[in-house]
Structure 1
Amino acid sequence: MTETSAIDSFADRIRTGGHGGLVSAWVGIPEPMVVHHLTQEDFDAVVLDMQHGMWDMASASNAVAQCRSAGKPAIARIPVGDFASASRLLDAGCTGIIAPMVNSVADAQALVRFTKYPPLGERSWGPTLALNHMKLSGDDYLRTANRLTLTIAMVETRAALDAVDGILGVEGIDGIFVGPSDLSIALSKGEKLAPDTDDIDKELSRIVARCRAHKKFVCAFGSDGKRAGGLLKLGCDLVVASADTTQLRAGAASAIAAARSFAVSG
C-alpha cells in the first residue's frame, strides 16, 4: 500500500471501526513546518484548527501538502458557519472537515451541501490540488470523493445535544466531534470551563451510544494524553491528545525544569 492509498483509506478505516482508537495531532500555529515536525510522530492524522488557530487558506493548503507527503491525512476545523471554506479545503486535499457549532438538522444539511457531491450535496467542482495529491482522474475522484472524505459535525451546545439524533440522521454526516470545553460552558450556563468532568463523560457516553445506533463514528478533544486515553475508553474512535501550543509549552517547561534540577543536584 502506498502512502497516498494509506491516507485515502483513512475515511473507510474510521467508519468501519476495528482500528483500536485513533490519535490525532491538533495544530493552530499557522506554520506548515510545525505540521511537518508533528507528522514525524506516530499520529494517525493531523487537525488544522482554522476556527481558533491562525491558519489562512494558503498556509493551510501548504500544511495539507506537508501532511500528505508524510503519509498522514489532514483534517481541517473550519470557522463557524464558513461552509464555503470547507469545499476549498477538500479541493486542497483535506481528508475531512470538522464544522463547529452544528446545532440543528438544518445546520447539518447545509454542511453536507458544501462537502459532498450530488446526490448527497451540492459541492462545486474544482479539486485541482486533490487530484494532484491523489493521482486520480476527474471521473474517478467524482465517483469516490464522497466516500474518501469525511464530514464531521461538532456537538458542543445544549441545542446540539437535543438534536444529536437528527444530526446523525442526515445522510452525508459521517461522524460527530465533541467539543468538551464549549459543552461544559453550555451545560453550566456559562459558569465554568470544566471539560474533563463526569458531567461531560455522561453526555459523551450518550453521544457514543447514539453514534453506534446510527453506525457513525465519534471524535473528541482531550486536554492531554491521559485524558485522550480516557476518551478512547469511553468509546471514541478518534481523539486529540492536546493542542500544539500545550505540547510545545509542556515540553519547554519539562526541559527547563530538568536543566535546573540537574544543575542544582550536580
Structure 2
Amino acid sequence: MPVRMTLPDTFAKRLAAADRPQIGMWVCSGSPLVAEIAAGSGLDWLLIDGEHSPNTLETILAQLQAVAAYPATPLVRVPSGDVVTIKQYLDLGVQNLLVPMVDSAEQAEAMVRAVRYPPAGVRGVGSALARAARWNRVEGYLANADETISLTVQIESAAAVDAAPAILATEGVDAIFIGPSDLAASMGVLGQQEHPEVVAAVERSIRAAVDAGKPAGVNAFAPATAERYLAAGASFVLVAADVSMLARGSEALAERFIGGDGAERASY
C-alpha cells in the first residue's frame, strides 16, 4: 500500500494561528544545504527567492525537500507573474507563493486565477505527475488544492501602494508583502529604503492590510526598522539574508585579522 500524505498547513493558516509576528530570512544562495541550516535556526519562515537569485526549478525543489523536515515555513518567490512559471512552481510542491510587482487589483485577480484549477482559474492539471499532490498520494488533491496553497503578492511601487486596499480586497489574495527597495526606486529615491516618504508608504500599506483584516509583511534588515514596522502592525518580517550574512561576516573576519581596505587585500 502506498503512503497516504497530508500536506503541511499553508503560510496563511500559520499566520492566522500565530500569537505573534512571524520572523524570517531570505534564502538566496540556491543551496539546499544553506536552506536546511536556516530552516533549523528557530526562525519561523524562509523566503526562497526565484527572482533575484541563481535558482532553477531543480534547486528550488531540492531546497523544499531539504527544509521539509523542519518547522520553518517556506515561502517561494517566482521571478514574475508568468502563468506557466507559476504552474511549474506549484507542481514542484510550492504551497506558499510570493508574486513580485503586483500593481493593481486586476493583476492580483490574474494571480489568483493562476494558482487555481478551472473553472475558478487557469492552472494546468498535472497532479499525477507532480510533487504537489505527492504523485496522487494526497487524497482528494484536485478537489482541495485551493486549501493547500497560499498567495502573497508584493507591493513594490507607488501605484501598488495606492491600489493596496483594492489588492487586499481581492478574494484569494491571502497577504501582501512590501518591498521597500523597489518602492524607493519607484518613488525616485533609489537605494534609500529609509527615506521618510518610503517609510510612510510602507506604513500606509501595512495600515491598509490591518484595516482589511489581512496580514502584511515587509523586508527590513535594520533591527530598528523591523521593530518600527512590527509596531505598525506587520504580521511577518524578513530580518536577514543568507548571502548578506555571509558577506558581512566574512568582511568582519578580514577586517579583524587582516585590516586595511578591500582594494589592498585584493592585491595580495
Structure 2 length as normaliser, TM-score?
0.84
Q: Distance in 2 between matches of 1:106 and 1:32?
A: 35
Q: Is the 8 A contact 1:87 1:114 kept in 2?
A: yes
Residues 1:44 and 1:7: Cα distance change in structure 2 (over 3 Å) = farther
The residue number in structure 1 matching 2:19 is: 19
Q: Is the 8 A contact 2:10 2:150 kept in 1?
A: no
Residues 1:120 and 1:173: Cα distance change in structure 2 (over 3 Å) = farther
The residue number in structure 1 matching 2:62 is: 62
The residue number in structure 1 matching 2:263 is: none
Q: Is the 8 A contact 1:104 1:167 kept in 2?
A: yes
Q: Distance in 2 between matches of 1:250 and 1:198?
A: 26
Which stretch of structure 1 is more off in the superposition, 42-51 or 196-205? 196-205
SS at match of 2:89: helix
Alignment partner of 1:130 is 2:128: no
Residues 1:38 and 1:180: Cα distance change in structure 2 (over 3 Å) = same
Unaligned runs of 5+ in 2: 260-268
Q: Distance in 2 between matches of 1:144 and 1:254?
A: 49
Alignment partner of 1:236 is 2:234: yes
SS at match of 2:68: helix
Q: Distance in 2 between matches of 1:57 and 1:89?
A: 7
Q: Distance in 2 between matches of 1:66 and 1:200?
A: 36
1:209-245 CA distance string (max 9 Å, x none): 2112222111111124443333222211111112221
The residue number in structure 2 matching 1:201 is: 199
Note the C-alpha offset of 1:75: 1.3
Residues 1:72 and 1:184: Cα distance change in structure 2 (over 3 Å) = same
Q: Distance in 2 between matches of 1:196 and 1:242?
A: 16
The residue number in structure 2 matching 1:8 is: 9
The residue number in structure 2 matching 1:219 is: 217
Unaligned runs of 5+ in 1: 262-266
The residue number in structure 2 matching 1:192 is: 190
Q: Distance in 1 between matches of 2:19 and 2:171?
A: 23
Give the aligned residue type for 2:35.
V
Matches within 5 A, 1:19-168: 19-118=19-118, 120-127=120-127, 128-132=130-134, 136-137=138-139, 139=140, 141-168=141-168
Q: Distance in 2 between matches of 1:12 and 1:148?
A: 10
Note the C-alpha offset of 1:46: 1.3
Q: Is the 8 A contact 1:13 1:19 kept in 2?
A: no
1:1-55 CA distance string (max 9 Å, x none): xxx97942542121x2643111122112122111111111011111111111110
Residues 1:131 and 1:50: Cα distance change in structure 2 (over 3 Å) = same
Q: Distance in 2 between matches of 1:42 and 1:78?
A: 25
Note the C-alpha offset of 1:61: 0.8
Give the aligned residue type for 1:241.
V
Q: Is the 8 A contact 1:93 1:133 kept in 2?
A: no
Coordinate RMSD, CA, aligned? 2.5
SS at match of 1:254: helix
Give the aligned residue type for 2:151.
T
Q: Distance in 1 between matches of 2:233 and 2:6?
A: 27
Q: Is the 8 A contact 1:218 1:238 kept in 2?
A: yes
Give the aligned residue type for 1:57.
L
**What is the number of equivalent residue pairs in this alignment?**
253
Give the aligned residue type for 1:130.
A
Q: Is the 8 A contact 2:36 2:66 kept in 1?
A: yes
Residues 1:72 and 1:108: Cα distance change in structure 2 (over 3 Å) = same
Determine which structure has the larger helix proportion and give its number.
1
Q: Is the 8 A contact 1:73 1:95 kept in 2?
A: no
Residues 1:178 and 1:240: Cα distance change in structure 2 (over 3 Å) = same
Give the aligned residue type for 1:31.
S
Q: Is the 8 A contact 1:6 1:71 kept in 2?
A: no
Residues 1:131 and 1:251: Cα distance change in structure 2 (over 3 Å) = same
Give the aligned residue type for 1:129.
R
SS at match of 1:163: helix
Q: Distance in 1 between matches of 2:69 and 2:138?
A: 16
Structure 1 length as normaliser, TM-score?
0.85
Note the C-alpha offset of 1:133: 9.4
